[in-house]
Amino acid sequence: MPRTKFATRLALAALSALILAGCSSEVADTHPEQPVTKRRDAFKAMLRSFEPMGTMLKDRRYDADAFAKLADEFGRLRDAPWSHFGADTNYPPTKAKPAVWEKPAEFDQRRQEFVAATDRLLAAAAARNEAEVRTTYAAAQDSCKACHRDFRK
Ligand code: HEC
């Protein structure tokens, strides 16, 4: 096969893979209670207060009151996703790994570590202690990543 034709085929294959990937994330959540949609929305809502806290720290413009407000908001949202991981809720379009249902004790352990880490962040934010806020924020972020590494695709 001439090189250019091969390249074109490769490009087309890559393109259709992209389109397929795009479509698979568009699969509709047809379950009546929509637990997958609910937990994903809950994670996204949580991120909307968690991320700005990180940005504030990264940009070195820590504002104790604004940070405490974001932390309060995050504290209200951090428990929301978990009740939507019921027994029959491993279906497309979920990005959760089967491990969530295969290793429930480990998943719950990660969730508890996340709660403990974010408890420390909320306390530091309320105390308006920047140094503590920085270390506890980093630890909280590690707790998100640790769970995603094993339990999210
Ligand atoms: C105990 C495990 C666990 C912890 C802790 C955790 N997550 Fe997740 N997260 C998941 C799983 C599982 C999914 C996939 C959910 C699905 O698609 O059904 C997910 C999905 C997400 C999503 C994607 C939502 C979407 O659009 O599909 C975001 C954003 C997210 N998490 C943010 C966070 C942040 C920020 C933290 C920490 C502050 C965090 N998560 C902590 C397990 C966790």
| pLDDT tens sequence across 13-33 | 655 555 555 554 458 999 999
Output the average pLDDT for the chain: 91
Q: Is 136 in the pocket of ligand 1 (CB under 6 A)?
A: no
Ligand 1 binding pocket includes 84 (Cβ within 6 Å): no
For residue 37, which of 75, 74, 91 has the smallest C-alpha distance?
A: 91
Report the residue among 90, 152, 153 best suited for mutation to probe ligand 1: largest number of ligand atoms under 8 A from its CB.
Answer: 152
d(CA 29, CA 41): 12
Neighbours of 59 (CB within 10 A): 8
For the CA of 44, the closest atom of ligand 1 is 29
Asked if 56 and 63 count as a contact pair (C-beta separation under 8 A), the reply is yes
Cα first-last separation, the chain: 36
pLDDT score for 17: 55
